[in-house]
Amino acid sequence: MVPITYYLLLAAALFCMGMFGVLVRTNALVVFMCVELMLNAVNLTFLAFARMHGNGLGHVSAFFVIAVAAAEAAIGLAIVIAVFRSRGTVNVDDIRTMKH
Amino acid sequence: MNIELVLFGVFAVMTLLSAGLVITARSPINSAMALVSTFFFLAGIYVLLWAHTVAVIQVLVYAGAIMVLFLFVIMLLNLGDAPHRGKPTVTRLLGGASAAGLLAVLAVTLGRMDAQPARLDAQGQATFGTLAAIGQSIFTTWLLPFEAVSLLLLVAMVGAVVVAKSRI
């Protein structure tokens, strides 16, 4: 049997890679994809702990996370389209109207 | 040699490689394709965790629906090969340092715990991770959150149409 620790380490690595992508990428679409990576890392943690305790509750949580991720992707991409219509760019560094 | 460990190693390495491609690829299309393969390999990891149902939902919803949405938006925006400058080097270094720092903290913490899979009895082995068990749980104990999520999806659908449409 594979120790649960390995799965948790894999999830931690995946989460950190997603976080790195969110911090350094400038294309809003790629930033969204990195957020999806982080959500998947969380799902993996839920499932690993469900297996560790032999409890199906983690599967229900993962199901809800996937549903919320779908809603997040729909809204986020709609916002990206709206911003691209009005500004003509999806570069997160160029979209700074609300910054100052 | 344990076959489960070998499968886990293959899936884990491929997952991390494709995730690395997602964050390093120049074109968003390549990132999206690498993300699809990440989702597939993660579904394999889920199966190793006896989460067959979630693995199927992962392929259907993530690799299917969400990625189609991403590809559709990438092609709709038609970004082309516009010269894109990345973040400044300082930001890259700081981002890499913070990600590496978080990974180090998590690895040290997780390395201290010795977590093993639960030993399930015959009944547990027959029901753990099955669609019947998850459905039973969702439609009895977690019925209210389930309905709230369906409402959330409806709101997201209407909101996406309202936000993305230029004129209503």
What are the tens digits of pLDDT across the range A44-54? Answer: 999 999 999 98
Q: How many Cβ pairs closer than 8 A exist between chain A and B?
A: 242
Strand partners, A91: A27
What are the φ and ψ backbone dihedral angles of A3, each rounded to 5 degrees?
-60, 145
| Residues A85, B73: Cα–Cα separation, whole Å | 12
Which residue in this structure is represented by tokens 């939902």?
Answer: B57
In chain A, which residues have their Cβ closer than 8 Å to the Cβ of B84?
A: 26-27, 91
What's the confidence (pLDDT) of residue B10? 96
Q: What per-residue confidence (pLDDT) applies to B88?
A: 84
A85 and chain B in contact, CB less than 8 A: yes
Rounded-to-integer distance, Cα B38 and Cα A17, Å: 12
In chain A, which residue's Cα lies nearest the Cα of B134? Answer: A60
Query: With contact defined as beta carbons under 8 Å apart, do A37 and B36 qualify?
Result: no
Report yes or no: B46 and A51 within 8 Å, Cβ to Cβ. Answer: no
Q: How far is A57 from chain B (nearest CA, A)?
A: 8
Contact flag A33-B31 (C-beta cutoff 8 Å): yes
Query: CA–CA separation, A37 vs A48, rounded Å?
Result: 16
Any CB–CB contact under 8 A between A42 and chain B? no
Nearest to B116 among A4, A18, A66 (CB): A4
C-beta atoms of A64 and B115 within 8 A: no
pLDDT per residue, tens digit, chain A (100 aa), is 789 999 999 999 999 999 999 999 989 999 999 999 999 999 999 999 999 998 889 999 999 999 999 999 999 999 999 988 888 888 888 888 776 6
CA distance B16 to chain A (A): 7
Tell me if residue A99 falls in helix, strand or coil. Answer: coil
CB atoms within 10 A of CB B18: 20
Identity of the residue in A4, A13, A43 whose CB atom sits nearest the CB atom of B117: A4
Mean pLDDT by 10 residues, chain B (168 residues): 90 96 91 95 94 93 90 84 72 93 94 84 84 92 95 94 79
Which residues does chain A have within 8 Å of residue B159's beta carbon, measured at their own beta carbons? 74-75, 78
Closest-CA distance of chain B to residue A59, Å: 7
Residue indicated by tokens 């969400």: B66
Residue B73 is encoded by which pair of tokens? 């938006």
**What's the one-letter identity of residue B65?**
A
> What domains can be seen in chain A, in order of their start residue?
4-87 (1.10.287.3510)
pLDDT value at position A96?
A: 80
